[in-house]
Chain A
Amino acid sequence: MARLNVEIGDLKLKNPVTTASGTFGYGTEYKDFIDLGRLGGIFVKGTTVEPRQGNNYPRMAETPSGMLNSVGLQNKGVDYFVEHLYPIIKEYDTNIIVNVSGSTLEDYILCSEKLANLDKMPAIELNISCPNVKEGGMAFGVSCESAANVTRAVRKVFPKTLIVKLSPNVTNIADIARAVENEGADSVSLVNTFLGMAIDIDKRKPKLSTVTGGLSGPCIKPIAVRMVWEVFNAVKIPIIGMGGISNWQDAIEFILAGARAIQVGTYNFIDPTVSVKIVEGINEYLDRHNIESVDDLVGQIL
């Protein structure tokens, strides 16, 4: 049995397999299917200061080897999370990490402050890359200056592990990664969804109520792998890689590209047990290749 544990800043994961925000609810949605304690961590649904109803239906369109969504950060707000959800999920035998989203700098600060007080909240993931909200969200993640500003502001109020989730909808993702590293981010997670669009040709109407949405699934994987590799060559902080991971082979590919941990996203919808299968697959791969620790594999393209 190889060593699977990894560290992301002060955050200790029993294995590098986590689940991506927005695809795994609060974990409870999956407890019938898997033992949540077998995961390295769970990134829970994007959380904002105020409750959000999200966008109008339709919010989803199936696309070749993937899907578009425009959920729009539907959630009950950080106070509801702290009062009603946290007491349940803090009992899980895994790391719970909240994805913090917002429309203004103040939103990010306020939300992060409230989460900083929770004992069993070892880290947050700063979502500056949601393509489905009118204000804020991705706007913070597409320029070095705004990404640096929000990271700097949250760094001041959040002393634990700060992960910044990057948007792939940029010219040079490595520049953004460097900008947030310089402001004290402990890690970057990438990639969020790609801005996309699909049209119903019979109705001649966009398939999503919001016209555009975020593309995810295996169709984005090669681009995501390339971006992880670019960021790996640009920063020293650990990377959490994601983008179309559907099996352990994909996970290994991301690790080789430079990811210290990975997030499984859209594929949870197709196989709600896939995350645990990936943990097993990584372990067997390491044993087969006589690699002692998964850490030894990070970025090791020959």
Chain B
Amino acid sequence: MMKVHDFIVQSNEILNVRNNLIKVSPAKKEALPEMFPGQFVQILVDNSPEVFLRRPISINFIHKKKNEIWLLIQRVGEGTRKICKLKPGEIINLIYPLGNSFTIPSKKGNYLLIGGGVGTAPMLFLGKKMKDNGIKPDFLLGGRSASDILQQADFEKYGTLYCTTEDGTLGEQGYVIDHSILKDKKYDYIFTCGPKPMMVAVAQYANNNEIECEVSLENLMACGFGACLCCTEKTVRGNVCSCTEGPVFNIKELTWLD
């Protein structure tokens, strides 16, 4: 069931030059409904002329005990810049939870969670859910520089962390797709979220090596709940809304590799 609710900002932490981590909990004292990795929220910023629409933000983590949703925000435009100026105690309005979920594995196997840039956000939540199922995945996170690899300590709680940076300041130098782990280890399933070129490269690798692969899309959207038909993605079943039938798709459903 989707809801439109006010939330209180509990904290807003600047992680690096581009990213903030904002933790929010419901303004009315009530427990958060169950949410799943891959799902997102639509934040009402200020509905000013320049930020008219809500901003879709992936759920980074759910802290059940504190009743918090964590949102990892990259300041890319006016909307996300305004969100990052929120102060603890301020109220924001969310539509949530939206979208489908990654398929959360329940049996042992070799799982790789690949995140690029702010696309690492849902991977933390997915890693936590996998740990709850007794599975320890590998994480492969990529960024331009060491400071772009966010929440390292959190990721290490749930699995083994591998990194790539374009300048070589952390992990192996290059893009995630160049990392040696992809040559050394045979994976059963890959989950990925990040810039489209990165996800296409990962999808290509998974396809070539006959590995199941799910990607989380970031198509531009207006509503986020299947009414406007703007965030459409071309699939083998025709055009579908990436907000309701996604944002997570198995690459076999997409037409990227055709």
Contact = CB atoms under 8 A, between A and B. Distances in A.
Contact of B227 (A63, A217, A268, A271): A268
A62 interface: yes
Interface stretch (B81-89, B199-207, B214-222): B214-222
A84 B62 CA distance: 37
Given A23-B228, A69-B230, A270 B54 contact: yes
A59 interface: yes
B95 A53 contact: no
Do most interface residues of chain B lie in helix, strand or loop, or is the interface mixed? loop
Contacts of A60: 220-222, 228, 230-231
Given A32-B3, A54-B239, A67-B222, A269 B232 contact: no
Interface in A1-33: 22-25, 29-30, 32-33
Q: Is the interface of A mostly helix, strand, loop or mixed?
A: loop
A85 to B, nearest CB: 13
B51 to A, nearest CB: 8
A74 B229 contact: yes
Interface residues of A, number: 36
B52 A67 contact: yes
B228 A271 contact: no
Contacts of A266: 222
Interface residues of B, number: 30
A121 B221 CA distance: 31
A24 B229 CA distance: 10
Interface string A48-75: 0000011011111111111101010010
A22 B228 CA distance: 6
Interface stretch (B7-15, B42-50, B132-140): B42-50
A272 interface: yes
Contact of A71 (B2, B3, B47, B229): B229
B61 interface: no
B182 to A, nearest CB: 29
B228 A57 contact: no
Contact of A64 (B52, B224, B230, B232): B52
B238 A53 contact: yes
B86 to A, nearest CB: 18
A23 B230 CA distance: 10
A273 interface: yes
Contacts of B174: none
B126 to A, nearest CB: 25
B232 A54 contact: yes
Contact of A32 (B1, B47, B224): B1
B226 interface: yes
Contacts of B2: 32-33
B229 A65 contact: no
Contacts of A270: 44, 47, 52-54
A57 B52 contact: no
Nearest to B50: A64
Interface string B70-90: 000000000000000000000
Contact of A74 (B44, B227, B232): B232
Interface of B: 1-4, 44, 47, 49-50, 52-54, 95, 219-234, 238-239
Given A29-B223, A60-B228, A71-B228, 18 more contacts: A23-B228, A24-B227, A32-B1, A33-B2, A33-B3, A45-B229, A54-B229, A58-B220, A59-B229, A60-B230, A62-B53, A64-B52, A67-B52, A69-B222, A69-B230, A268-B223, A269-B53, A269-B222
7 contacts: A33-B4, A66-B52, A69-B230, A71-B230, A269-B222, A270-B44, A271-B44
